[in-house]
Structure 1
Amino acid sequence: MSKADKTKQFIIEKTAALFNSKGYTRTSLSDISEATGLTKGSIYGNFENRDELALEVYKFNSGLLTKNLSRSFGKDFPTALDKLKAFVAFYRKNWHFVFANGGCPIMNAATESDDTFPHLKNQVKISFEEWMKRISTIITKGQKSGEFNPEISAQEYASLFIMLVEGGILLSKTTSDEKHLNLALDKILKIINKEIQKIPS
């Protein structure tokens, strides 16, 4: 990377947790300056404005989540059933890290952007669509391989899984009690075992 690109990446990485915990619209230029040790002029020399930086930080934060989740869908888990259960296990094992860094970056951005930050709202929409597509693709492959019930809607279950995970994270983070997330994850496992997995005749 060029020196300018390295500086941009430095600013993004140094402010990633700050934006996710304090908020994309509430993080001030002074906050960014303090987190990076750079002057306001230097920050504006690399980004047109705070909103541009906020968008790049969101892409970085959501990209990290996607990268880590992708391991659950990788070659280490050969069957569609293995991949879905690995998806559940990811949140079971990594909730400490997610909470320590301000919670789920997609959900955080979704709740605060709404109509006040349309460009961020659009990026969040893209993230959710990609997430649902990834899960529904796994379910569809499981249907084609004979692992899963061929009559279910892959898109509907993908949407349901995301709602359960995000709701569990929201309640657990708000109450500082992991039981809500675990309850949501337990429900997903029951759905996988009783509704999605094909029951031998």
Structure 2
Amino acid sequence: MAKGEETRQFIIEKAAPIFNTKGIAATAMSDIMEATKLSKGSMYVHFENKEVLAWAAVDHNMKVLGDRLLSEISKAKTAKEELFTYISFFSNAINPPLTGGCPLLNFGTEADDTNPIVKEKINKGCNANQQLLASSINKGIANGEFKPDWNADDFATVMFAMMEGGHLISRMSGNNEKMKVITKTLKSMIEEKCL
């Protein structure tokens, strides 16, 4: 990796948790300069403006989250374990897998009416998560773990929405009590579809 690319990546890695915690609008370039110890001129050599850096930070947060999730899911031996691993991975909203919480929820809430580029990035992430869940269900149907009449796409949408909603409720209340209810309910719904 060339020196310029190393510096650019360093800035993104330092900026990503700040954007994910404070949001795009509330993050100032001075916050990033403080975290990186780089001058304003150095920042603008690598990023045209804060918005371009924010886009890169969103991509970075999504990639890190996705890589960690897929690494955990790859350890599962069955389709049911894959679904339970997904639930477990996101079950602690107070101590989330990424600093600042779920980037899908954070950036999605902020960008839905204000930033079409970030909105599209988050929409793709939401769709990818639902496709991942549906794929696990379809695999489980194919290998005889789950009932053949289970609608994978519908359940993936419900599960994803419940987990994201659980994150919001938990982060607002400052505890995981409601998330525990959601994870217990989802696991019970999955068990009902097992053969």
Deviation of the 1:96 alpha carbon: 4.5
Gapped regions of structure 2 (runs ≥ 5)? none
Would the aligned equivalents of 1:139 and 1:148 in 2 still touch at CA under 8 Å? yes
Work out the CA distance in 1 between the residues paired with 2:72 and 2:140.
15
Question: 1:13 matched to which residue of 2?
Answer: 13
Question: 1:101 matched to which residue of 2?
Answer: 99
Work out the CA distance in 2 between the residues paired with 1:118 and 1:19.
17
- The amino acid across from 1:8 in the alignment is R
Would the aligned equivalents of 1:25 and 1:113 in 2 still touch at CA under 8 Å? no
> Which among 128, 131, 135 is matched to residue 130 of structure 1?
128
Q: How many residues align?
A: 195
> Higher mean Cα deviation, 150-159 or 99-108?
99-108
CA displacement, residues 66-91 of structure 1 (integer Å, 9 cap, x when unaligned): 111112321x2121111111222222
**Are the structure 2 counterparts of residues 20 and 98 from structure 1 closer, same or farther at C-alpha, using a change threshold of 3 Å?**
same
What is the CA RMSD across the aligned residues, in angstroms? 1.5
Tell me if 1:197 matches 2:189. no
Tell me if 1:159 matches 2:157. yes
Deviation of the 1:149 alpha carbon: 1.4
Would the aligned equivalents of 2:90 and 2:97 in 1 still touch at CA under 8 Å? no
Would the aligned equivalents of 2:89 and 2:97 in 1 still touch at CA under 8 Å? no
Work out the CA distance in 1 between the residues paired with 2:187 and 2:86.
10
- The amino acid across from 1:91 in the alignment is F
Gapped regions of structure 1 (runs ≥ 5)? none
Would the aligned equivalents of 1:165 and 1:184 in 2 still touch at CA under 8 Å? yes
1:47-126, aligned counterparts within 5 Å? 47-74=47-74, 76-92=75-91, 95-98=93-96, 101-126=99-124
TM-score where L is the length of structure 2 = 0.94
State, as a whole percentage, how many aligned pairs show the same letter: 34
Tell me if 1:30 matches 2:30. yes
Question: 2:3 matched to which residue of 1?
Answer: 3
- The amino acid across from 2:44 in the alignment is Y
Secondary structure of the corresponding residue to residue 171 of structure 1: helix
CA displacement, residues 174-201 of structure 1 (integer Å, 9 cap, x when unaligned): 110111111111111011011x223xxx
Work out the CA distance in 1 between the residues paired with 2:182 and 2:130.
17
Would the aligned equivalents of 2:93 and 2:170 in 1 still touch at CA under 8 Å? no
Deviation of the 1:102 alpha carbon: 1.2
Would the aligned equivalents of 2:79 and 2:136 in 1 still touch at CA under 8 Å? yes
